[in-house]
């Protein structure tokens, strides 16, 4: 990680954007839950955290060429995170493949990324080293997905200008590359503006790394995992029964700290329960009884979540609805931001850009001005987007006619030169030192810039109708 760190918002009114990706190439096990799912869900509930979670199904294609497995894994992993307590109303939860701006940004970033940087990526170098050791071509079996994986990961992060990205130590290099790529873009195309935030790596030292059945790190590659939900209580109990223990018989004192069975229990127990379990092992509890106690303890924790998981898997349309809604929420930021990126690199569209396809059902409503009287009795007008979001609220007027003129005045002006950006991430439209209207406060600079793009597009879409009626 570079010594230069991106400043994190410190104001209580500002949030820190944290982004987490989950590759959809398998079924989650107990180690995944303890090491990634549980801490991430807990982090998403912290105040002032703007959490983004996505299913990295494009990444899954690098190593998995089984369409059924990828499709099934997308559902299983989404259901797992939801059952584990992820609240889609409080976070942005989406599939990578449902946000087409991400691969578009990936290609743009690919065009400014030096090949030499990709040559140094750990995953690529490991594949080359293995091929050299086998006396085959260095790039044998290496596809461009594996080679350019760090660029797609950079696009995932930079698309939403995440401040922090929780990763394992093996992914630190990819975060450093994302920072390097972001700096290159800002320098080459920024013209005084930093389009991309430089993301900070987040290493959670206290997160549990569970041992598997054989004592090594729990991993599918070692075939030593304990299922999280798959197979139900019976599969959980059967897996725990296969945990390797030493030869000490019932009645003999056991060293809890040398037992990976104890370490698994400790990761899911309170300090008091952990000490009680340690004492029982020291007093001679047999390994069979210890395994039964661990199975019962885990079942008490996992059973309620498993029930929700099964319900979701039995109703995949519910999962789809949640993911589509999350994609629409993500694209509300991604679509206008990509328009800014296109303009920065010279791909400015001559015609109006189509908006992101919404997951919401069409209401038949269009962008419009709404006049009303506020609580103080003043007359106002509000510009509302087609999805119901308020883009701009007029200043208060003493007469309803003045509020009615707000719309015609707004549509006749070049707003770009009249927009003022405020410290609370809102904007104000000012004409001749007089405030015409203001937007709601956003949570970040990126959201404010997205709002500006939506405002300009909405005014442009309404202007022809206004001209035709005049």
Name the DSSP letter for residue 211: B
pLDDT at 197: 94
- Give the model confidence (pLDDT) of 208-263 as tens digits: 689 999 999 998 888 999 999 999 999 999 999 999 999 999 999 999 999 999 99
pLDDT at 238: 97
pLDDT at 447: 83
pLDDT at 206: 62
Contact 236, 265 (CB under 8 A): no
- Give the model confidence (pLDDT) of 72-101 as tens digits: 999 999 999 999 999 999 999 999 999 999
pLDDT at 349: 59
pLDDT at 457: 85
pLDDT at 24: 87
Phi, psi of 357 (to 5 degrees): -70, 120
Q: Give the containing element (helix H, strand E) for 56.
A: strand 49-56
pLDDT at 14: 65
- Give the model confidence (pLDDT) of 411-422 as tens digits: 888 888 889 999
pLDDT at 4: 33
Alpha-carbon distances, residue 344 vs 97, 109, 157, 406, 428 (angstroms) = 24, 13, 19, 32, 24
Exposed / middle / buried, residue 388 (Cβ in 10 Å: 0-12, 13-18, 19+): exposed
Per-residue buried b or exposed e for 263-285, using 16+ beta carbons within 10 Å of the residue's own CB:
bbbbbbbeeeebeebbeebeeeb
pLDDT at 413: 85
- Residues of the chain scoring pLDDT < 50: 1-13, 351-363, 465-470
């Amino acid at each position: 990680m570079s010594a230069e760190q991106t400043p994190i918002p410190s104001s209580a009114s500002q949030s820190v954007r944290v982004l987490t990706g989950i590759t959809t190439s398998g079924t989650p096990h107990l180690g995944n839950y303890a090491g990634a799912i549980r801490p991430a869900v807990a982090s998403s509930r912290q105040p002032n955290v703007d959490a983004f979670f996505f299913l990295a199904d494009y990444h899954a294609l690098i190593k998995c060429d089984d369409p059924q497995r990828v499709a099934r894994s997308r559902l299983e992993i989404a259901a797992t995170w939801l059952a584990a307590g992820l609240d889609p109303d409080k976070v942005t939860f989406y599939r990578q493949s449902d946000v087409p701006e991400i691969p578009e940004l990936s290609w743009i970033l690919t065009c400014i990324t030096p090949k030499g940087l990709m040559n140094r990526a750990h995953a690529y170098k490991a594949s080359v080293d293995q091929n050299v050791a086998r006396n085959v071509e260095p790039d044998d079996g290496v596809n461009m997905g594996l080679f350019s994986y760090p660029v797609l990961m950079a696009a995932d992060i930079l698309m939403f200008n995440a401040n922090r990205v929780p990763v394992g130590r093996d992914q630190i290099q990819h975060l450093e590359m994302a920072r390097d790529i972001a700096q290159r873009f800002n320098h080459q195309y920024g013209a005084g503006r930093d389009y991309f935030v430089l993301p900070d790596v987040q290493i959670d030292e206290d997160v549990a790394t569970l041992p598997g059945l054989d004592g090594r790190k729990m991993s599918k590659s070692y075939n030593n995992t304990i299922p999280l939900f798959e197979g139900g209580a019976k599969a959980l109990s059967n897996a725990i029964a296969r945990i390797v223990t030493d030869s000490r018989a019932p009645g003999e004192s056991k060293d809890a700290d040398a037992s990976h069975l104890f370490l698994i229990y400790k990761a899911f127990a309170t300090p008091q329960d952990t000490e009680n379990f340690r004492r029982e092992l020291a007093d001679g509890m047999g390994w069979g009884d210890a395994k039964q106690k661990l199975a019962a303890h885990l079942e008490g924790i996992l059973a309620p979540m498993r029930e929700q998981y099964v319900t979701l898997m039995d109703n995949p349309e519910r999962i789809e609805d949640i993911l589509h809604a999350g994609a629409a929420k993500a694209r509300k930021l991604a679509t206008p931001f990509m328009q800014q990126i296109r303009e920065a690199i010279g791909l400015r569209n001559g015609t109006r850009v189509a908006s992101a396809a919404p997951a919401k059902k069409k209401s038949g409503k269009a962008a419009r001005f709404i006049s009303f009287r506020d609580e103080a009795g003043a007359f106002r007008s509000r510009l509302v987007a087609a999805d119901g979001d308020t883009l701009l609220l007029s200043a208060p007027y003493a007469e309803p006619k003045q509020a009615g003129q707000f719309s015609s005045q707004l549509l006749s002006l070049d707003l770009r030169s009249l927009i003022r950006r405020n410290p609370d991430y809102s904007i104000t439209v000012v004409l001749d030192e007089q405030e015409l209207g203001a937007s709601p406060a956003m949570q970040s600079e990126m959201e404010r810039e997205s709002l500006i793009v939506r405002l300009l597009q909405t005014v442009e879409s309404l202007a022809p109708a206004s001209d035709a009626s005049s």
